[in-house]
Amino acid sequence: MITSLVSRALDRGALAFLVTLVAIGVLVPVLNLVVPATSPFHLSSYFVALFGKYLCFAILALSIDLIWGYCGILSLGHGAFFALGGYAMGMYLMRQIGTRGVYAHPVLPDFMVFLNWPELPIYWYGFQHFAYAAFMVLFVPGLLAFVFGWFAFRSRVTGVYLSIITQAMTFALMLGFFRNNFGFGGNNGLTDFKDILGFNVQAPGTRAALFMISTLALMLGFVICRVVVSSKFGKVLVAIRDAEARTRFLGYRVEAYKLLVFTLSACMAGVAGALYVPQVGIINPSEFSPGNSIEAVIWVAVGGRGTLTGAVLGAVLVNYGKTYFTSGVLAPYWLFVLGGLFVAVTLLLPRGIVGTIHHHWREWRERRHPAAGVPHAAPRAAE
């Protein structure tokens, strides 16, 4: 049954996208580990870590596109789920340091020793085990999304009001995690990681493996999203986005659909955060910043809301531009560039890059074969 669902969900475009990801996931580690450093085709470990980070951002963008592009839920606080997944992985990595820390304490992380914590807080128990940490990467963001969504959707909070309270949620979490007595490292966060599953996180082989795992996670997330939006469940999500009151009148439990897809999206964001932390080497409260969540929405808008592949493309392109512009003389003006990009896309390219390409392709096919035209059931463009 699962195989049939997947086969129905993956059209030629989706398969081509997955094949491209497979090629990237294989070629980049090979060019990094196998090709000599003197070769012009060699990719440095810095490049692997940088594009591994972009892949994590792509998973985050995919999670936002699932709820915004197909259900009309504009979350300006999805960075909270990303950061919570990152902290869950960071706690595991901190527990692996042991006596190799600055203060050589066998149990307490360095920041707890520095702040004179007498013992390990109970919510840190179990994070010395990878399986437990991996479970919490999904459970904590999913639980927060479920509780938040339960109250918000049952209260029928929609539109800009829902966006504002999601932003307030991530801002409140940021203020809490900045406090030293929260037990998460305060403003310095968690860093100085040594090992993951016994492998040195700084080793080129480990970085290449993390890159491949990030690619696989992006592929899996894409397939899950395609299965969801191609199913009857996905058609109901589109109906909720286009006419929520009418969908409710037809007898569908709109709140339950919203809650399920919102929780799934949060779990995907948590996985993205968990893969992000070992590749970047740090997680701190700035990841909860509302600006990060807003920036992730811009990625989706640039690539094309309601296209999935557009969300991935937008995340990679915008973040590559950020890396390029913030490393030179234009660094002080990056936020102006980002804001101008969002305004330009909204006014001139409302469907985003991929959405615009799809739109013109459909128009060309209809002009060429007018009798073969069929209604397009995909979500509307970002308007």
The confidence score (pLDDT) of residue 1 equals 64
Secondary structure (DSSP) of 102-167 = TT--SSS-HHHHHTT-SS--GGGTTTTSHHHHHHHHHHHHHHHHHHHHHHHHHTT--HHHHHHHHH
Reported as a single tens digit per residue, the pLDDT across 261-312 is 999 999 999 999 999 999 999 999 999 999 999 999 999 999 999 999 999 9
| More confident site: 118 or 346 | 118
pLDDT of residue 47 exceeding 70, the answer is: yes
DSSP state of 378: S
Q: Domain-by-domain residue ranges, the chain?
A: 2-372
Mean pLDDT of 179-204: 92
The confidence score (pLDDT) of residue 377 equals 47
Reported as a single tens digit per residue, the pLDDT across 118-156 is 999 999 999 999 999 999 999 999 999 999 999 999 999
The confidence score (pLDDT) of residue 13 equals 86
The pLDDT-based confidence of 255 (bands split at 50, 70, 90) is very high
pLDDT of residue 25 exceeding 50, the answer is: yes
Adjacent-strand bridge partners of 195 = 200
Mean pLDDT of 251-258: 94
The confidence score (pLDDT) of residue 201 equals 94
∠ CA 96-101-102, rounded to 5°: 170
In the three-class reduction of DSSP (H, G, I as helix; E, B as strand; rest coil), residue 315 is classed as: helix
6-10, 84-88, 316-320, 331-335: range with highest mean pLDDT: 84-88
CB of 25 within 8 A of CB of 211? Answer: yes
Query: In this structure, what are the phi and psi dihedrals at residue 191, rounded to the nearest 5 degrees?
Result: -160, -170
The confidence score (pLDDT) of residue 356 equals 86
Adjacent-strand bridge partners of 200 = 195
The confidence score (pLDDT) of residue 332 equals 81
| More confident site: 196 or 375 | 196
Q: How far apart are CA 58 and CA 268, in angstroms?
A: 11
The confidence score (pLDDT) of residue 344 equals 85
Secondary structure (DSSP) of 237-285 = HHHHHH-HHHHHHTT--HHHHHHHHHHHHHHHHHHHHHHHHHHHSEE-G
The confidence score (pLDDT) of residue 383 equals 39
- The torsion defined by the Cα of 78, 79, 81 and 85, in degrees rounded to 10, comes to 150
pLDDT of residue 381 exceeding 70, the answer is: no
The confidence score (pLDDT) of residue 238 equals 95
Q: How far apart are CA 71 and CA 235, in angstroms?
A: 10
Query: In this structure, what are the phi and psi dihedrals at residue 40, rounded to the nearest 5 degrees?
Result: -70, -15
The confidence score (pLDDT) of residue 141 equals 97
Secondary structure (DSSP) of 26-50 = HHHHHHHHTS-TTSTT---HHHHHH
pLDDT of residue 378 exceeding 60, the answer is: no
pLDDT of residue 382 exceeding 50, the answer is: no
The confidence score (pLDDT) of residue 314 equals 94
| More confident site: 116 or 262 | 262
pLDDT of residue 42 exceeding 60, the answer is: yes
Say what the pTM is. Answer: 0.92
Contacts of 41 (CB under 8 A, 6+ apart): 31, 35
Tell me the CA end-to-end span of the chain in Å, nearest whole number: 36
∠ CA 133-136-139, rounded to 5°: 160
Q: How far apart are CA 121 and CA 186, in angstroms?
A: 15
What percent of the chain has a predicted confidence (pLDDT) above 90? Answer: 74
CB of 278 within 8 A of CB of 196? Answer: yes
- The torsion defined by the Cα of 153, 158, 164 and 166, in degrees rounded to 10, comes to 30
Q: How far apart are CA 201 and CA 210, in angstroms?
A: 9
